[in-house]
């Protein structure tokens, strides 16, 4: 299944001399976040599945009218979906060890899945959102109750490779309605300070993955409102 979107450091005005380190930290952290999310759902972050854009799913996505002014909103193209689904390797060293073992033990899904996706970015506010809708079949066993077990082992996770390191901390979010879970993740390291909100909800026979990235203060109220709006629109149209 697709990884969480990777927001490039230049979108959030990281000084140029720090961008190489910041880019690695950002990508590595997002891979760790994706691994934790997929561990909760008993699927692998390293997917050999094929994802194909299904235009019919785009009717279920949020549009520019759902966001405040200043956001650049567009549907995800096949090329962008392919990049999200690229096989990313976890960093060599992840601590605590029990978290690393848990993330590396998940099965690898295979098969072909249809998806629809959108993104909304506001560089001035250093904020970005994305939404992915896909059939629930690609998620194997649906067991969001594992969130407590996974956060217990991976609540604060450090990762390092080739002399670069970062930290990701996870906490549950409330207020997102439906059958699923929501997380707040804080990423720090290499000049990067970024907070992600991730909500994954089963809506009928589909799954809605809604992500928000905040380079400044995490706007929990806006994230929850938009995640619920995404779920409501999917419920009404699919």
Print the domain residue range for 96: 9-237
Assigned domain for 4 exists: no
For 54-75, the pLDDT digits (tens) are 999 999 999 999 999 999 999 9
Has residue 86 got a pLDDT over 80? Answer: no
Assigned domain for 3 exists: no
Half-sphere exposure of 223 (CA within 13 A, CB side): 26
Mean pLDDT of the chain: 82
Assigned domain for 1 exists: no
d(CA 46, CA 97): 19
Specify the pairing of strand 127-135 against strand 206-214: antiparallel
Residue 154, domain CATH: 3.40.1000
Assigned domain for 2 exists: no
Q: Quick one: pLDDT at residue 5?
A: 47
Q: Quick one: pLDDT at residue 25?
A: 57
Look at residue 6 and give its three-state secondary structure: coil
Contact 137, 113 (CB under 8 A): yes
d(CA 50, CA 110): 7
Q: Facing residues of 133 across strands?
A: 116, 208
Question: CB-based contacts of 135: which residues, under 8 Å, 6+ apart?
Answer: 113, 114, 205, 206, 207
Stretch (H or E) spanning 181: strand 179-189
Look at residue 201 and give its three-state secondary structure: strand
Pick from 179, 195, 175: nearest CA to 187: 195
d(CA 215, CA 193): 7
CA distances from 178 to 41, 196, 225 (A): 16, 20, 13
Contact 42, 141 (CB under 8 A): yes
Q: Facing residues of 72 across strands?
A: 121
For 128-176, the pLDDT digits (tens) are 999 999 888 755 567 788 888 888 998 999 998 888 889 999 999 999 9
Number of domains comprising the chain: 1
Assigned domain for 101 exists: yes
Contact 190, 180 (CB under 8 A): no
d(CA 75, CA 84): 14
For 2-61, the pLDDT digits (tens) are 444 444 434 444 444 444 555 555 666 666 777 777 666 654 444 556 789 999 999 999
Which sign, positive or negative, has the C-alpha torsion 140, 89, 51, 77?
positive
Q: Quick one: pLDDT at residue 19?
A: 47
For 174-193, the pLDDT digits (tens) are 999 999 999 999 989 887 88
Assigned domain for 180 exists: yes
Q: Quick one: pLDDT at residue 1?
A: 46
Has residue 84 got a pLDDT over 90? Answer: no
For 103-115, the pLDDT digits (tens) are 887 666 566 788 9
């Amino acid at each position: 299944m697709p990884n969480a979107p990777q927001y490039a450091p230049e979108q959030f005005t990281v000084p140029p001399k720090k961008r190489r380190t910041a880019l690695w930290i950002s990508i590595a952290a997002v891979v760790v976040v994706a691994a934790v999310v997929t561990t909760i759902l008993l699927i692998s972050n390293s997917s050999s599945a094929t994802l194909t854009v299904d235009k019919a799913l785009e009717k279920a996505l949020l549009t520019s009218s759902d966001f405040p002014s200043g956001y650049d909103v567009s549907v995800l193209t096949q090329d962008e979906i392919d990049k999200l689904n690229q096989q990313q390797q976890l960093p060599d060293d992840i601590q605590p060890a029990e978290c690393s073992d848990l993330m590396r033990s998940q099965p690898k899904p295979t098969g072909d899945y249809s998806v629809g996706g959108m993104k909304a970015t506001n560089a001035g506010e250093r904020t970005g959102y994305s939404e992915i809708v896909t059939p629930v079949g690609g998620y194997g066993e649906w067991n969001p109750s594992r969130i407590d077990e996974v956060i217990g082992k991976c609540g604060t996770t450090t990762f390092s490779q080739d002399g670069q390191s970062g930290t990701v901390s996870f906490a549950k979010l409330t207020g997102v309605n439906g059958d699923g879970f929501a997380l707040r993740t804080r990423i720090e390291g290499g000049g990067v300070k970024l907070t992600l909100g991730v909500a994954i909800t089963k809506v009928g026979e589909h799954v809605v993955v809604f992500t928000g990235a905040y380079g400044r203060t995490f706007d929990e109220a806006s994230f929850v409102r938009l995640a619920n709006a995404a779920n409501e629109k999917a419920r009404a149209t699919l």
